[in-house]
Amino acid sequence: MAANDSIFLGAHEAPGQHSVQRCDACGADWHELDASPACPHCGGLLAIIHRAPLDSMGAPAAPAALQHAFAQHCCARPSGHPSGVWRFEQVVMPAAGAAITSHPEGNTPLLSRARVSAWAGCDGLLLKHEGYNPTGSFKDRGMTVGTTQAVRTGATAVACASTGNTSASLASYAAQAGIPGLVFVPAGKVALGKMAQTLAYGATTLLVRGDFDDCLRLVQDASRELGIYLLNSINPWRVEGQKTIVLELLQQMDWHVPDFLVLPAGNLGNTAAFGKALREAHALGLIHRMPRLVSVQAAGAAPFATAFRDSFRERLRVQAETIATAIRIGDPASWDRAVRASRDTDGLVLSVTDEEIIDAKVQVDAAGVGCEPASAASVAGVRQLVRSGVIRSGDRVVAVLTGHVLKDPGMLVELHQQRDDFAHANRPVEIEVSVRAVADVLARRTREGA
Ligand code: F0G
C-alpha cells in the first residue's frame, strides 16, 4: 500500500487549503477550485487529496471521534439535509460550505434476502442497494459532490457521457442547481427508464451515433474546447462522493470489515472510488484490514477481467456488447486507479455471461427487491466465487446493487411478455370483467404451481 503521506496532505503542504487536486501521472498539485477536466500540465487524471481530519485541539482526529462525528453529522447543518454523502463531508469535500446541492441522497439499505443468499450459496450475503438513491442509482452520490463543485467554480454548463444512469443523475442535479446540463449517450443503447428521466429533468440530450467510448472521447473534447464543466467519473469530486458507498456500508456494519466487497464494473470509476475509500479509511484507523474487492464485468465487455488474468500486464480495449447496457464499455477510463484498488485489496476481477446476469436478476427480482441488469452482475459474481471455492461458508460478503429495477423496463417487458424461451416468464393474463374469470386464472396458477 502507498505511504500515508500520499493519502492525505502533509502538515506543510498546500497551506490554507483543505484539499488539492493532484495529478496521478506527474504529481502536480492544482487548487481545489481549478475546473480543468484533467491535469493542465500533462493531461493525467486528477485525484483529490485532503488534509486528514483534525480534532478541536488541532491533532489528528481519533478513529472513534471520527466515527462519532459521522454518526452525528449533517442534520446539524443549517440545511438539515440527512444526506448519506454529506455526513462524511470531512473526507469528501470539507470546504463545500453553503454551495452544497443535495436531494438528499445515500442512506441506502443493506438488505439480507434468504432467496438470493440460497441461490448464490452464501449465507452471509448482504445487498447494498444503491437503487434507493433519488434518481435510482449510485451515481447520485458522486453527482451531488460534482454539482456542488460546479456551483463553487461558477460553471455555466455541465456535461457527461453516459450509458444512462450518469445522464439521469446529472440532469436531475443540474436542474436543482439551475445550471444547464448536456448529456452524450449512445444512440439506441440507453435503457428506457434512464432516457425518460434524462428528458424529464430537462438536460439537452445528444444521441451520439457511436458507443459509450465514442461519447466519452467526444464529451472530453467538447468540454476542453467549449469550457463546459465535465461530470464523468474521471471528475475527481465524483469519486469523492462515490467513496461514501463504502463508508456508509462500513458504518452500517459497525465498522466491521466484510471479507468480500463485490461490485459491477464498467468504466471502473466505482472500483477506483472504492479503492480510495478503503485506503483512506485504513490510514485513518477506521478499519484495520481490507475486504477483498471483487469487480465484476459482463463477459462481452470485460477488458479489465481479461487483463487481471494476466496480472494487468497490458491495458486492453474491446468492442463491448452485453445485455447489461449500463456496463457496455470497452475502454474503461479509470483503468490505472482500478488496478491500484485491486492490488491494494488483494482484489479479484471476474466476468459473468449475460445468461448468468439474467439468472441473478431473476432471483433478486423474485425476492421482491429488484435491480437493473448490470447490478445483478455482482450477485452472479458471488455465486461464481462460491462455486470456485474462493468464498467459503462463514464469509461475510457485501454485493452492491447499483441501480433500480425500473431503470430497464424494456428488458422486463421483453422477458416476461414477449419471449417464449424465458423459463421464469410471469405473463400477465387479460380477462373479461368477471369473478369467474379471476377464479379460473387462480385455479390454473394453482395447478401449474403444484
Ligand atoms: N452499474 C450501473 C447501474 C451503472 O450505471 C454503471 C455505470 C456501473 C454499474 C459501472 O460503474 O462505470 O463506475 O465501473 N454507468 C455509467 C453511466 C457508465 O454512464 O451511467 P463504473
- HEC string for 29-41: EEECCCCCCCCCC
Nearest ligand 1 atom to alpha carbon 295:
14
pLDDT classification of 71: cutoffs 50, 70, 90: confident
> Is the shortest distance between the CB of 347 and ligand 1 below 6 Å?
no
Residues 6 or more apart in contact with residue 264 via CB below 8 angstroms? 270, 295, 296, 297, 324, 326, 327, 374, 375, 377, 378, 400, 402
pLDDT digit string, tens, across residues 230-248: 999 899 999 999 999 999 9
pLDDT classification of 427: cutoffs 50, 70, 90: very high
pTM of the model: 0.96
* Mean pLDDT, rounded, of the chain: 95
C-alpha cell recorded at residue 332: 474503461
pLDDT (0 to 100) of residue 5: 44
Q: Determine the average pLDDT of the residues in 38-59.
A: 93
Which of 163, 216, 262, 334 maximizes ligand 1 atoms within 8 Å of its Cβ, making it the mutation to test the pocket? Answer: 163
Unique residue bearing C-alpha cell 429495477: 405
Reply yes or no on whether the pLDDT at 410 is more than 70: yes
Return d(Cα 129, Cα 233) in angstroms, integer: 20
- HSE-up of residue 99 (Cα within 13 Å, Cβ side): 19
Reply yes or no on whether the pLDDT at 384 is more than 60: yes
Report how far ligand 1's centroid is from the alpha carbon of 244 (Å). 16
> Is the shortest distance between the CB of 96 and ligand 1 below 6 Å?
no
> Is the shortest distance between the CB of 135 and ligand 1 below 6 Å?
no
Burial of 75 (0-12, 13-18, 19+ CB in 10 A): exposed
Burial of 25 (0-12, 13-18, 19+ CB in 10 A): middle
Phi-psi region of 140 (alpha: psi -120 to 50; beta: other; left: phi over 0): alpha
pLDDT classification of 215: cutoffs 50, 70, 90: very high
Reply yes or no on whether the pLDDT at 387 is more than 50: yes
Q: Determine the average pLDDT of the residues in 400-411.
A: 97
3-8: long-range pairs with CB below 8 Å, 24+: 4/283, 6/49, 7/49, 7/279, 7/280, 7/283, 8/49, 8/50, 8/51, 8/52, 8/280, 8/283
Q: What 3-state DSSP class applies to 245?
A: helix
Return d(Cα 40, Cα 224) in angstroms, integer: 10
From the list 192, 185, 252, 184, the residue with the least C-alpha distance to 223 is 184
> Is the shortest distance between the CB of 270 and ligand 1 below 6 Å?
yes
3-state helix, strand, coil in the chain (%, to 5): 45, 15, 40
Residues 6 or more apart in contact with residue 400 via CB below 8 angstroms? 127, 128, 130, 138, 245, 261, 262, 263, 264, 270, 375, 378
Phi, psi of 358 (to 5 degrees): -65, -40
First to last CA, the chain: 57
pLDDT (0 to 100) of residue 113: 98
Nearest ligand 1 atom to alpha carbon 162:
19
pLDDT classification of 1: cutoffs 50, 70, 90: very low
pLDDT classification of 12: cutoffs 50, 70, 90: confident
Asked if 262 contacts 118 with a C-beta cutoff of 8 angstroms, the reply is no
pLDDT (0 to 100) of residue 365: 98
Reply yes or no on whether the pLDDT at 2 is more than 70: no
Largest CA distance in the chain: 81
Q: Which residue CA neighbors atom 6 of ligand 1 most closely? A: 326
Which of 127, 137, 165, 352 maximizes ligand 1 atoms within 8 Å of its Cβ, making it the mutation to test the pocket? Answer: 165
Unique residue bearing C-alpha cell 448482504: 126
pLDDT (0 to 100) of residue 3: 36
